Amino acid sequence: MVPLALLPLLLACSLLAAASPTSDSPSRHHEGHLVGLSPPPAQAQTESRQPRILILGAGVAGIIAARTLSSQGFTNYLLVEAQPEIGGRLKSGQIGGHTVEFGANWIQGLDATTVNPILRLAVKHGLQSVNNDIYGSITTYDDNGLADYSDAIDAADDAFYSIVAGAGAQLDERGPDLSVKVLLAHGKLPPSPLSSPTTKDQDSPIISQWDFEYAQTPSQSSWLATAWNNNLTYNLFGEDNLLSVDQRGFKYFIQAEAATFLQPDQIVYNATVSSVDWSNSSATHDTSSSGSSIASANGMPAASADDMSDASPVTVTLANGTTLAADYVICTFSLGVMQNDDVDWVPRLPDWKREAVAAFTMTTYTKVFVQFAGDERFWFDTEMALYASPTRGRYPIWQSLDVPADHEPQFLPGSRTLFATIVGDNALDISSLSGASEVDVQEDLTEILQDMFPNTTLPDFDILYHDWAADPLFRGSYSNFPPSWDPDLHQNLRSSVGQGRLRWAGEAGSAAWFGFLHGAYADGEAVALELIDCIQRGGVCEDNNVPRPQGPLAPARP
């Protein structure tokens, strides 16, 4: 059992490793001991055969895991990606001839001694991004047009910072995690608009401060994890939010990074994994003799009939029937994909893993882009706008990609494009999973824009959004930690199965930075280093799961 109060210590260790990507002897926690990684054997490349590693998914975690393996001399890996390109949740679309971002859009932090590793890559590859004043440049509306509720914005800011500070004190006292609503109700923090009931004009700033980042309401979120996730991002990297406006797409930075080390035969596209068989993974295995990289007729390394006589620890089957054999697998599929059983695990994953996967939340965060016809400029001149709806969370946050010519900075000048962000249960309402269609979304937006701009004859507009919740490759947007979450369950979410053969990496694995690109980066790197450590210690490793978290005891019968 890792007490919550010790987590910041553990986090600090992983932060140090992640914050210095050039350091070549990172230390990692392993089964309670600090294990120093020895440098790779100099002849790793020339030894009889390197272990075969499959990395499932080519998002940020998969690419950084691959880069980490390459840099330590382990090059016998294959990235297996369902989409036709690298990027994962860095996903762009086109509206009115402009590239816009359906998924990740911001890089957090700018002025700090600890540089966000995503910013480092963006700068390295010349990504075009601009500083977006999310919390400073705001126009406020409600269902009667313009409405001034700047006091409520200030109150929500204050409430957020007292929650974050209160979490620091709670960690020092080794107190439990709670939901924010509960702790406010118990007077642990000063009264604030975060305690119910709230008016629509109070809700809107809270949504901007909280739901916009965590994609759920304060009562659905962990108090402590929210607070350190915020601090470890904004206090460590800096307060700025850089918005990618790069017309090659935000994904460009990770594609360009991949191009620096990835060989064409180290990745397959359009390859959807349908099952992962790890039934042979616990057999003691001599990795030097398991032939698993025999090239098949079509050039794909595949398990041939000969191959099967010498069973490999893990076998991955693609939707088209091709099988791929591996000594080790790193799976980077989203928490949502894991929760939906999109992949068939043979045998079924252990109960401790299934429980851990179920214990965390995959949220939905959807951006709806709106592009206006005509040439009249009628929308707000600020970068952001809030809309306070009588129904909490109905299209609450608006952003302009087309600010006046004299505004600094410019985003997509002349694009006549705004986007509304809708999160959590409200975002599910506009998903096809709830039966909503594009026509419904268009009608919603007509109504809301007419509320915001009551004296304007709205021009025609096109809309564009990605239905994250319904996408079988994601099943939502990113993870959030629920109130009173259990650190043992998070350890089990990260733990390998099959004696270190089958591993998981991705944003949800980062306790410090869940939800963020830099969380995916840090966890991809950490899991690759853990795998290298395992291989160097003989290749068969204990899984570091908590055997079974102790559930509550039923009360004695009264």
Ligand X SMILES: *[C@@H]1O[C@H](CO)[C@@H](O)[C@H](O)[C@H]1NC(C)=O
CA 16 to chain centre: 20
Smallest separation, CB 514 to ligand FAD (Å): 8
Is 25 near ligand X (CB under 6 A)? no
Q: To which residue do tokens 């470890």 refer?
A: 232
Q: Which residue is nearest to ligand FAD (CB)?
A: 88
CA distance 153 to 135: 9
Over the range 176-191, which residues count as b (16 or more CB within 10 Å of their CB) and which as e?
A: ebbbbbebbeeebbee
272 interface partner picked from ligand FAD, ligand X, none, CB below 5 to 8 A per type: ligand FAD
Tokens of 513: 């930075």
Is 308 near ligand X (CB under 6 A)? yes
My answer on whether omega of the bond before 347 falls inside 30° of 0, hence cis, is yes
- By beta-carbon proximity to ligand X, the closer residue of 105 and 332 is 332
Smallest separation, CB 316 to ligand FAD (Å): 9
Q: Which of 145, 191, 347, 390 binds ligand X (CB under 6 A)?
A: 145
Tokens of 329: 């697998």
Strand-strand pairing, 27-30 and 106-108: unpaired
- By beta-carbon proximity to ligand X, the closer residue of 85 and 438 is 85
Q: To which residue do tokens 């966890």 refer?
A: 523
Smallest separation, CB 239 to ligand X (Å): 12
Smallest separation, CB 146 to ligand X (Å): 5
CA distance 182 to 483: 10
52 interface partner picked from ligand X, ligand FAD, none, CB below 5 to 8 A per type: none
CA distance 114 to 101: 26
- By beta-carbon proximity to ligand FAD, the closer residue of 90 and 100 is 90
Contact residues for 552 (Cβ-Cβ < 8 A; gap 6+): none
Cβ count within 10 A of residue 290: 20
Q: Which stretch binds ligand X (CB under 6 A): 228-236, 248-256, 357-365, 382-390?
A: 228-236
Is 322 near ligand X (CB under 6 A)? yes
CA distance 274 to 320: 9
Smallest separation, CB 290 to ligand X (Å): 10
Smallest separation, CB 541 to ligand FAD (Å): 23
Smallest separation, CB 152 to ligand FAD (Å): 25
CA distance 265 to 453: 54
Is 176 near ligand X (CB under 6 A)? no
Contact residues for 426 (Cβ-Cβ < 8 A; gap 6+): 392, 393, 394, 395, 396
Q: How many residues bind ligand X (CB under 6 A)?
A: 31
Q: Which amino acid is at 64?
A: I
- By beta-carbon proximity to ligand X, the closer residue of 19 and 44 is 19
Please report, as ranges, the residues that interact with ligand FAD according to CB under 6 A: 56-62, 80-83, 88-90, 103-106, 272-273, 332-334, 337, 342-343, 365, 468, 473-474, 477-478, 506-507, 515-517, 519-520
Question: Which residues contact ligand X (rule: CB under 6 A)?
Answer: 84, 145-146, 164-165, 167-168, 171, 227-228, 231, 235, 268-271, 277, 279-280, 298, 300, 308, 311-312, 315, 318, 320-322, 454-455
